[in-house]
Structure formats: C-alpha cells, structure tokens
Amino acid sequence: MDTITHDELYNSLINGAKEVMNNRLFLNNINVFPVADGDTGSNLFSTTYSIVHHSELKEDTKTTLESIADSAIIGARGNSGLIFAQYFQGFSEGITAETVITKEDFILASKNGMEYAYQALDNPVEGTMLTTMAVFYDALSKEPSGHETFDTLLGKAFEKVEDAVENTTDQLKVLKKSLVVDSGAKGFAYFIKGFLDGIRGHLISKDITEVEEFIPAIEQHDHDIVRYRYCSEALLEKESDVIDLKSLLSDIGDSIVQVKGKRKTRVHIHTNDPAEMFERLSGHGRIIEQKVDDMVQQYDRIHNRKYKTVIVTDSIADLPKELIDDAQVHVIHISLLVGNESYIDKLTVTNEKLFDLAKSKNIHPTSSQPTIKSIENAYHYLLSYYENVVVFSVAQALSGTYNAFSKAAEQFNESKQTIHVIDTKQNSVAEGLIVWEAIENLKADKSVGEILSAAEHSVGQSKILVKINTLDNMIASGRLSVRAGGIAKKIGLKPIISLDEKGEGEIFKIAFHPNTALKKILKHMKHINETKGIKHYAVTYVDDPRLGKEFAEALKGTLNKEPEYITKSSGVIALGAGVGTVAVAYITQ
C-alpha cells in the first residue's frame, strides 16, 4: 500500500476523530495544562464531533479536506480544539493530490498542518499537542522514499508520537507535579491511532450522536489559580480574509489562538474582560458565535467545593458577582440578540454597549432563553460534583426559561438525581434577593428541604418596584404601543413598574416627575416596613452607579437599615427598562 484514495483518507480521518470522541472522559480527567479546568476532552469532543457529523466526502481530496477543516473550525472549543482545527486547515491547504495520495503528499500536508498549528498561537509551548504534531511529521519525513508501505510508515510514526506523549510529563512542571501526560498531546495521539486503524481497515462502528460537554471530577492536586478568569471564544464570518487578530488582543489576555478558514475565523483567549474582547473583534467581521467559560469557577468547583448542594439561577437574577463566587452559584446566561448578532448577558456585552448598538443599528435588542440541551449539559456537569441542584428561575409568566429548566430536569429526576426548580415569580433584583436568601440558608448548613421551604415562603412575600427614567425602551419592546407611549411621554408620565403575584408586569403607581416617583416608592416602603416588616431589601441600577447609590441612601434613610447589596442589572432588564432606571426589591417577614 504505497498510496491511498481520497475516500480512504476521509474515512480514516473520521475514524481518528471518533477515537478522540470515545476517550473524552479520560482526557478531561488528566487535564491540568494550561488550566486545571478538566475540559480538554470536552473541547476536543466538540471539535471532532463537528468533523464527524458535518464534514462531507467530496469529489476530490482538496474539497474533502476543506470540508473537514471548515467543520473543525465551527466545532472548535478551547485551546486544544482550536489548535487541532488549525492543524486541519493547514493540512487541507498543504495537499495537492486530486484523488490518490502518495506518502510524499501526506507528509507534505502533515508538515503544513504542524506549521499552521504553531502559527495559531501567540506563544507556543512545547510539551503539548504541538510537540506531538511536530514529532509526527518528523517521524514521517525520515524515510519518505523507502520501501515501507503507507500503514507501516504511519505505524512507526505513531510509536514516536506515543513516546512524545509520555515525555510531556517531564517537559512541563505542572504535568510533572500531577504525574500526568498532557491531555492535548494525548488527544492527538488518540487521533493518530484512530487514523492508523482506519488505514488498516479497522473502522469504529459505534456512532456517537449526543454532545455531552459535562466535566467529570478529576484527581485533586495543588495548582496555581489562573491569572485570567475567562476562557473566551468568538467565531467570526467575513467575505474577505480576516487579519491577524492576536496582536489586537494581546494586551487583555494570554493563550491567544486564531484559527483561520476561508470565510470563518475562530479566536480563543484567556482574559478578564470578555466584553472588551468582543468589542474589539466587532469591527473585523460578523460575530456569529460566542462562548465564555469561567475557569476560576471551574477550578473552585473541582478543588475548593464548599457544599453538597449547588444553587443555580439565570442571569436575569441581579446579584453581585462576589456573592455568586463566594457561594459557587452556577449561572445560566441568557442570550441577547442585536439584529443577527448574539451576545451573552453579563459576560460579552455591557448595558451601555447594548444601548449604543441599539442606537447605531436602529434596532431594539431582544433576549433568547437558554436551550433545553444547554441546560441538560449544565445539569450533567453539576451532578458530577453535587448531590442536589436547586434552581431559581425568572418568573414563568415572563419567560420560557422556567419551562426549559423544568423540562431539562425530567430525565435526571426520573433516575433519582435530585434537581429542584423554583419559579420565583420575580425578575431582576427581586429574583436575586430570593437567591441571596437561599445562599444564606446554604451557608447556615440548612437542609435542602429547609432551603426550598424558605424560598417558597419568600416568593410569596417578595416585591419589586422599578423607577423608570424613560419610556423609550418600553415602547421599543412593544410593552407600550407607539401611540400610548407617545401620549405618555407628552404628558411626562413616569410609571413605577412592578410584578403581580403571578409574576406578570403591572403599573404599580403613576407619577409625573422622577422626584414624585421616588417619594411614592419611599412612602410605600415605609408603610410596608411598619405594617409587615421588611426582612431584606436590595437595590439595582441599569447604567449609572451614582443613581443606584443615591437611591439606596434614600431607602436607608426611610427604613433605617442598609440594603443587603447594590448591583448593576442584567442586560435583559436594561433592554426593557432603559437608561437611568433604578429598582428596589424586598422580602417581608
């Protein structure tokens, strides 16, 4: 076997991808570099899954490999996934054979793939997947003109790759400390093994159809806390070639990888400011996909887990980040849609940027609830670490998020894995305050039953009052008709918005001046405190922290007690409320 056909090459590459997919959990288990977040297997799974299920066998080698490279870029996740995708891009561009591939053709393509992978990184590190790619090419190129058959040459190169994987333990300090090999390097070795098996006719028959990107528990070791918090990725689409974006982002993070296809580019970075990353990228193509993983949270969940029960909520619940971090709350982020671009609430876009985008595009942004599948993946992940999951959802009357949370929980509860979903019948800071109380009960070592009972009581005793500064957003979102909104604006209407006992929006009070609206809120709060007793209250603001602080000071003067917290609102709330909005929520005794 001195040559292979392009369909044999395709089937063998698919076989290699399946071999990686089948070893996802083991790769997660040994993942400690560059961050001990246990997701290399899941990231490579996403990349190879896309190759297996989206690439196509075309009429010739070139277009077939282009299909594989494009599919890899679309599915690429994490450092390892992007490097792997760039390898395929280089491999596809390095092939010249039409339908029959010689050993020399394959070696040249492997060299090109290796070089593209190195070029994808701002700071290549040896002892990783890159090293095994280089060793693979080097082993292939030793005797390209010898009498060895294609599969014999590959077999000898695979042995060198396996040796290189074993050597990674001594190449990187963190691997030696944990006594593991590099997970990305091992993933590439799995790929070569599957590819070699395919060339020899041993195809994997099992078809993997479900993407489950959950992260299992891994062996605990002492690792340094990462310098940058968020593993962030963007998929851009542009008609012309995208420039080298690594220098554009170099001052806001590290682990920068750029994978360029013909029309799509995926960029990966570890950063503390995902919103700034996407702001910079926005002028270099249409952002068609965003992903942000919290590496600090992943690390803490693996190595510093505090409780046996985890609290989950959606990003509409307004809570300070430090409270979420301290209690290890898992947040399901809502998507914010601006025309044909999607952003991640509280992560990849600020409220101020949302208002700018709405103005520049002359369009009102909307929100989109999480998919059932994405929530199922989150449940899988959390149940790897926790015995119980308690979910607090935005009001069912306002969003389909509650139904998605509940539907996703069904299969787990059927198998006796306990997930409890609560409709808070609130949103914004009121939803957040209910979650805050549950956090306090979790810290006090209350049982799941006690946490649920207290939460159900608080749902019935909670209220939100929203002081609107402008009616423009309510009109733009359709909550007020253009005609009614125009009349209301002309007479200077400043309504105080709330939710009723079912969680549906209502006008709580009418005012014609901001100061009058404030007085009415303070009067109501004083009355409730005197008649029922306000146990807890909290404040949120949309865009101006000064307004939030002043509002909190006025409430403190009326109630003679501090709010539990003051925090910025979610983008979802900002879209409906508009600039200058502040809100207070309370729970009575």
CATH number at residue 470: 3.30.1180.10
Extract the runs of DSSP E, i.e. beta strands, from 301-429: 309-314, 330-332, 335-338, 341-344, 366-368, 388-393, 418-423
The answer on 556 and 440 residing in a single domain is: no
Query: Do you know the residue count of the chain?
Result: 589
Instruction: Give the pLDDT score at 147.
Output: 65
Give a yes or no: residue 297 inside a domain.
no
Instruction: Give the pLDDT score at 216.
Output: 35
Give a yes or no: residue 174 inside a domain.
yes
The answer on 546 and 428 residing in a single domain is: no
Give a yes or no: residue 519 inside a domain.
yes
Q: Which residues pair with 537 in a beta bridge?
A: 586
Per-position pLDDT tens, the chain of length 589: 688 999 999 999 999 999 999 998 888 888 876 666 567 888 899 899 989 988 999 999 999 999 999 899 888 888 888 899 989 999 999 988 788 999 999 999 999 999 999 988 878 889 999 999 999 999 999 865 566 788 899 999 999 999 999 999 998 888 888 888 999 999 999 999 999 999 999 998 765 434 443 333 333 344 445 689 998 988 888 766 667 788 899 999 988 888 877 778 888 899 999 999 999 998 888 888 888 989 889 888 888 999 999 999 999 999 999 999 999 999 999 989 887 788 999 999 999 999 998 888 888 888 888 888 889 889 988 998 999 999 999 999 998 899 999 999 998 988 777 899 999 999 999 999 999 999 999 999 999 999 999 999 999 999 999 998 877 776 666 555 556 566 666 766 788 989 999 998 888 888 888 899 999 999 999 999 999 999 999 999 999 999 999 999 999 999 999 999 999 999 999 998 899 999 999 999 9
The answer on 506 and 415 residing in a single domain is: no
Distance CA 231, CA 374 (A): 18
Instruction: Give the pLDDT score at 218.
Output: 31
Separate counts of helices (H) and strands (E) for the chain: 24, 19
Give a yes or no: residue 359 inside a domain.
no
Instruction: Give the pLDDT score at 484.
Output: 57
Amino acid identity of residue 178, one-letter, is: S
Distance CA 75, CA 575 (A): 31
The answer on 584 and 539 residing in a single domain is: yes
Structure tokens at 346: 């509280």
Instruction: Give the pLDDT score at 475.
Output: 66
The answer on 85 and 129 residing in a single domain is: yes
Burial group, residue 205, by CB count within 10 angstroms (0-12, 13-18, 19+): exposed
The answer on 116 and 28 residing in a single domain is: yes
Residue that terminates a domain, selected from 154, 175, 199: 199
The answer on 427 and 515 residing in a single domain is: no
Longest Cα–Cα distance of the chain, Å, equals 94
Instruction: Give the pLDDT score at 132.
Output: 95
- Other C-beta atoms closer than 10 Å to the C-beta of 217 total 13
- What angle, 0 to 180 degrees and rounded to 10, lies between the N-to-C axes of helices 103-120 and 78-93? 140
The answer on 572 and 450 residing in a single domain is: no
Residue that terminates a domain, selected from 179, 199, 219: 199
The answer on 534 and 435 residing in a single domain is: no
The answer on 532 and 423 residing in a single domain is: no
Instruction: Give the pLDDT score at 78.
Output: 80
Residue that terminates a domain, selected from 199, 221, 242: 199
The answer on 123 and 17 residing in a single domain is: yes
Q: What is the DSSP letter of 284?
A: G
- Where b means 16+ CB within 10 Å and e means fewer, 398-411 reads bbebbebbbebbee
Instruction: Give the pLDDT score at 209.
Output: 39
Reference 139, options 88, 196, 182; nearest CA is 196
Distance CA 244, CA 45 (A): 27
Domains contained in the chain, number:
3
Give a yes or no: residue 268 inside a domain.
no
Give the residue numbers spanning the domain of 412.
305-334+369-459
The answer on 475 and 532 residing in a single domain is: yes
